[in-house]
Each structure stands twice: as C-alpha cells, then as structure tokens.
C-alpha cells in the first residue's frame, strides 16, 4: 500500500491508486498521511485552481489574464469527496452570494477545482453514486473540468492523484471506473501477535501525546519527502528500452487485459520504482514487480472471486514468464497470433465463428469444471447447449427488466436529487430545492429583474430519481442427481449470466444450496457479486435432495430480509431437477407446508428446470403449480418457446 502511494506521488500520471481491504486496516489513515510527505506546491497566489506560475498551458482563465502572477508556496491539497456530495459541490456552480449582492454571474469552484495538482480521496469509493462516478471519469480522462450550466460556460484544469479505498464485501466498482486506477493493492490485517501489539502501542502513543509522537517520526518523514523529490527529478532521465517495452506488452497480452492502459501503467510503475530505488536504469525485474500492482483489478481472471485467488494467478503467470525462454516463446506465440488475426474471415472454421458469437463463453467454461470435486461431469459444454442456456437466461433477464422498469422520477423525499423544476403556482411544496431557488433569484437579479427573493416564481421543487434495489435469492440443488446430463454445469452457466445482470443493476444476491440431509445458506444477501461467484465456484456435489428444506430456508431468508429492508422486492430462483428424495420426517418440512408459507409471504418462485429433456421435469412443473410460481427450462429452448417465456415469466 505504501509503495503504491509513493509511486503515484512520484509519477501522478500513473492514474491513481485503488486500495482494497478489510475493515480497520488503516487505509484512510495512510492516505491522509501521504499529504505530509509531498513537497509544497509552487502556485499562483489566491488561485482557486492551484495553477503553477511557470506553466501557462495549465493556467486557468483568471491566471492567464494576469500578466505577472505572484508565486506562492502552499501545501498539496488533499480533498475528500464525501459519498453524499451533490453534483454542484463536485463540479462547481453559480456563486449565489455574488449574484444576489452584486448582480454578477460568477463561478464558484467545486471539489474538482480544489483537488487540482493534489490528491482527490474517495473513501468507500465503491458506494459512490453513479452520476458522481461519471463526473470523475470525465475529469480523470481529460484532466479538466468542463462546466456548462446556469449561463456559465468555462473549463478549468483538474489534474489530481485519484485515491480510492473500499471494502470488497460491500460491492465492486463499475468496470469503467476500475480501469482508471493505475495501481491496485489489497491490504490485510497483520497476523503476527508482535506486530499487532506494536500497532496498539503506536496508536496509544499518538493519542496520549500527538506532538511528541510526530517529533519522534519527523526524521523518517523528512527522509521520505527527500526521496520523493529526488525520485521526481530522476524520473525523466530513466529511458524505456525496447526490451522493457516488449516485456511489458507481453505480460499484458498473456494476462489477457483489455485495452492499453495496463501497458502504460506497467512501464510507468516500473520507472517510478526505479526512481524510488535510485537506479540509473529500469531492470526487467521491476516490470514484473509492477505487474503485481497493475494487474489485480484488470486480470483476465477477473471472474475469480477473491483478491487472494487473483494474486495467486498473477504469481503463476509471472513465474512462467520469468522462466528461461518463456518470455521469448510468449513473444513468438503473440506474433503468430497476430498473423492469424489477419487471416481472411472466410478461412475461419465453424467452431471459431461460434466462439465469437458467444462473448465470455470460454471464460465461463474454464472456471466451471474444476470446482466439481465429488463428481466428474460429462463433457456437455457444446455450443448448442450454451446457446440455449444463454437464450433462456436472456429471456429471464429481459422480463425482469420489463417488470422493474427504469429508474423512476418522484417528487417524494426518497431517492437521489437530480434536478429541480419550478414549483406549481398553487399548493404546498413538500421538498424545496433551496439551492435552485436561490440560483433562480440570483439569475433574475443579475438580469435586472425587479422581483424580490420571496417571489413564488423563484421557488423550485426537487425532482429525485429512485431505482429500487432488488434482492435475488438463488436456491441451487447440489445433490448427486445434478451430475446427470451435466445439470450442475448448465446451472452454473445460467447463474454466472444472472450474476452479471445483478452486478450491473447493483442488486443484492444470496445463495442457498441443498444436498445430503440439509440446506444451508452459502451466501447471505450481499451486493458484492464477486463473493457470490466465489461461493458458486467452491460448491461440491453429493448426497440426497432435501428439496423442501432448501425452499423453506429460502423463505425464512425472505422473511428476515423483509424485516431488514421493508419494501425491497425479493426474487427467488430455484435451480433443480425437482427430484426430492429425502423423507418428510428427515426434512422436518413438507412441500405442502412450505408452499403454504410461500403463499402467505406472497412469494412466487421461478422454478428453473436444469434437465436437458425436451418435455422437461414433471416434478418441477408440479412444484411451480403448487407454489403458484413459474416454470422454465434452461436448455432445449427453441425460438417460439423463448418468445413465450419472455412474455409470461413472473418472478417475486
């Protein structure tokens, strides 16, 4: 974690640092401490954007019009972006005070302006609202903030080191945002008793005498500050050789990362490491070390369910490439692959064309088979099976989207405040937009209007946008019978597709499995989809089929979730062949009693038949009828049946 932050401080163009880790691992503490190590900025006095006096291309309009800007030394800005920040606070807005008092339109800079040439820190970045993420993406890409609002049109520099911290248990980042971070590290709590005791001692020492504690570490802080300054000076002199570039692009290509940001981050990180180590050249080993910071959040094995697995896969990849001749062979293979890519499309065989038409199919298949520990499944991963399964899932997802609808606008006090509109001429205002009201009055005053601030025409009503999050409960049969005709394999293909849809919509998911003589909650409701994938990946087959127990446990979970989140829609999806073979005495519940509980709760499960039979499972059809639910088959679906499925499926 410290290494990544120091590298970003030496070369801010790296693109920032994402720090993932469990609670209580000093993520926020370390980020805030970084500011104290950075040398002060040379900036223009009284400039809200911290412009450098000797870099005219980076000056704002205010400083560019000043022929003799006065230089000033100032601390590096550290701006924290709160999760509840409004769009006006982030990008800036009309200066209401100036507009009301002097009748002048003047721009009031926001957090992006304050963070220019400094650090923009977002704690719990994975919980940041999507509209704020979009704003950060635009600024991080262009290095400037463009404002077009309320009669104001301007742009100002917004170049910053983006640092985000997050707990993966609370959900993942959008892929577009994730890729913007140049480096990613995972921090874990210390395990050695001696180290943990030292943490307590230092914390107690700081709380009892902060000034004395700071004085004890002042010399070390100064050493690190000098190291950053000399590393920045050394950075430009470090040349990137052809061999170094070849190593970087080979690592990225072998890892299967998308785009070219990983290539750039690898060479920049290796150069920053060399500068920090006071090297005169960049050794190839530093590129391999940089890969441990650059690849974890971009790795082609991103379907891996935990950072530990990703780290292990990266270690395996790097060891293979570092072995004698491996890197050269990878280069040769890549050249041959490039030649193949230039082949006439008509020369591609049917299998190649099928694989192109099913995005992600190969990746899903590669992670499904190794997890079946008790039973070896038949090789039934044909394109036809995969197409029919994915078609069925597509129908389910499409219907769910239609049922949920788009994010709806509301004038109530729930949801995200997105904009304001003039209030009705008559009637009470339940949710007054104070900022928009003041801006309307200020604009009226600046335009020469004679109306007072209390004129009703200035009043604005908040318009909010709300999208109800859903909880999706997957109930999965993991009994012996699911090994027949590769049923569990088929179910996993469907589950991965449904998880991808849930991830896009930021839904919660839960997983219940039933086998042997009991059912269990394999995953409590969570928005961390990576944990769900990990739970699915570590399942095993075996035993009898306590179907009633699995359904009963799912309904108990629904009851609990409704008490925690009243009003949140819940969907129950049951994957099985329907053949329950544990006696009611062993299950402690009967299908009839569980069905009565389901109707009392108003839950109508979707029973998904995993058998490959054209006629389907009669047992699953009877279950759907008993529970007043919906029955669907996973594969062997033709177009007519798919159309009917889309029009009729009902979940929740």
Alpha carbons within 13 A on the beta-carbon side of 546? 22
**Strand boundaries in 158-193, DSSP class E:** 160-166, 183-187
Is 139 strand, coil or helix? Answer: helix
Whether the CA torsion 256, 261, 263, 269 is positive or negative: it is negative
H-helix or E-strand spanning residue 107 = strand 107-108
Terminal-residue alpha carbon distance, the chain: 43
Q: Kindly give the interhelix angle for 307-322 and 242-255, rounded to the nearest 10 degrees.
A: 130
Whether the CA torsion 352, 356, 357, 363 is positive or negative: it is positive
Beta bridge partners of 574: 475, 607
In 3D, which of 634, 646, 400, 620 has the Cα closest to residue 509?
A: 400
Contact 98, 106 (CB under 8 A): yes
In 3D, which of 514, 507, 521 has the Cα closest to residue 472?
A: 507
Residue 471 has phi, psi (to 5 degrees) of -110, 125
Catalytic residue from among 35, 261, 416, 466 = 261
Whether the CA torsion 122, 21, 372, 475 is positive or negative: it is negative
- d(CA 312, CA 520) in angstroms, rounded, equals 29
Is 261 in the active site?
yes
- d(CA 291, CA 319) in angstroms, rounded, equals 12
Distances 251 to 294, 314, 439 between C-alpha atoms, Å: 11, 10, 53
Residues known to be catalytic = 261
């Amino acid at each position: 974690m410290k290494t990544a932050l120091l590298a970003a401080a030496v070369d801010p163009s790296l693109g920032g640092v994402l720090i993932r880790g469990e609670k209580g691992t000093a993520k926020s503490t370390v980020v805030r401490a970084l500011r104290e190590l950075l040398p002060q900025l040379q900036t223009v006095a009284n400039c809200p954007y911290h412009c450098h006096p000797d870099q005219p291309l980076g000056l704002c309009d205010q400083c560019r019009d000043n022929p003799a800007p006065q230089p000033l030394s100032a601390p590096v800005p550290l701006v924290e972006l709160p999760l509840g920040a409004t769009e006006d606070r982030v990008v800036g807005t009309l200066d209401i005070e100036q507009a009301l008092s002097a009748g002048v339109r003047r721009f009031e800079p926001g957090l992006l302006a304050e963070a220019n040439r400094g650090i923009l820190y977002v704690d719990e970045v994975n919980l940041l609202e999507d509209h704020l993420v979009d704003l950060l993406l635009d600024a991080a890409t262009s290095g400037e903030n463009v404002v077009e609002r309320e009669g104001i049109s301007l742009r100002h520099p917004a170049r910053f080191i983006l640092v985000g911290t997050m707990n993966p248990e609370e959900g993942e980042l959008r892929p577009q945002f994730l890729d913007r971070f140049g480096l990613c590290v995972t921090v874990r709590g210390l395990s050695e008793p001696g180290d943990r005791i030292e943490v307590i001692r230092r914390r107690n020492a700081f709380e009892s005498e902060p000034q004395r504690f700071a004085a004890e570490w002042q010399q070390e802080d100064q050493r690190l500050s000098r190291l950053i300054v000399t590393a920045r000076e050394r950075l430009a002199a470090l040349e990137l050789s052809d061999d170094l570039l070849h190593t970087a692009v080979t690592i990225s290509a072998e890892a299967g990362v998308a785009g070219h940001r990983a290539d750039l981050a690898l060479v920049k990180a290796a150069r920053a490491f060399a500068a920090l180590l006071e090297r005169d050249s960049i050794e190839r080993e530093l590129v391999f070390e940089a890969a441990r910071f650059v690849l974890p959040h971009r790795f082609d094995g991103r379907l891996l369910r935990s950072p530990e697995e990703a780290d292990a896969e990266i270690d395996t990849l790097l060891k293979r490439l570092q072995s004698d001749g491996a890197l050269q062979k990878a280069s040769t293979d890549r050249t041959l692959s490039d030649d193949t890519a230039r082949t006439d499309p008509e020369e591609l065989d049917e299998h190649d064309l099928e694989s192109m038409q099913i995005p992600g199919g190969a990746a899903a298949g590669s992670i499904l088979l190794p997890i079946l520990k008790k039973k070896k499944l038949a090789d039934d991963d044909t394109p036809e099976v995969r197409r029919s399964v994915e078609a069925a899932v597509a129908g389910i997802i499409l219907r769910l989207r239609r049922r949920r609808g788009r994010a709806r606008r509301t004038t109530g006090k729930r949801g995200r405040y997105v904009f304001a509109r003039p209030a009705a001429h008559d009637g009470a205002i339940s949710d007054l937009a104070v900022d928009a009201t003041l801006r309307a009055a200020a604009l009226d005053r600046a335009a020469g209007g004679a109306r007072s601030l209390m004129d009703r025409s200035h009043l604005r009503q908040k318009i909010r946008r709300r999208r109800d999050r859903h909880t999706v409960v997957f109930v999965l049969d993991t009994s012996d019978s699911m090994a027949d005709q590769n049923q569990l394999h088929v179910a996993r293909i469907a589950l991965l597709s449904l998880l991808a849809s849930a991830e896009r919509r930021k839904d919660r998911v839960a997983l219940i499995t039933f086998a042997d003589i009991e059912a269990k909650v394999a995953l409590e409701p969570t928005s961390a989809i990576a944990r769900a994938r990990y739970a699915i990946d570590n399942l095993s087959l075996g035993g009898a089929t306590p179907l009633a127990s699995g359904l009963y446990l799912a309904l108990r979970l629904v009851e609990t979730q409704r008490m925690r989140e009243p009003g949140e829609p819940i969907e129950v999806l049951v994957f099985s062949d329907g053949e329950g073979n544990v006696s009611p005495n062993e299950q402690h519940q009967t299908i009839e009693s569980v069905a009565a509980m389901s109707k009392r709760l108003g839950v109508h499960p979707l029973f998904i038949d995993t058998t490959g039979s054209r006629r389907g499972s009669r047992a699953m059809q009877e279950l759907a009828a008993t529970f007043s639910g919906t029955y669907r088959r996973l594969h062997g679906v033709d177009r007519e049946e798919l159309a009917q499925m889309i029009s009729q499926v009902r979940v929740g």
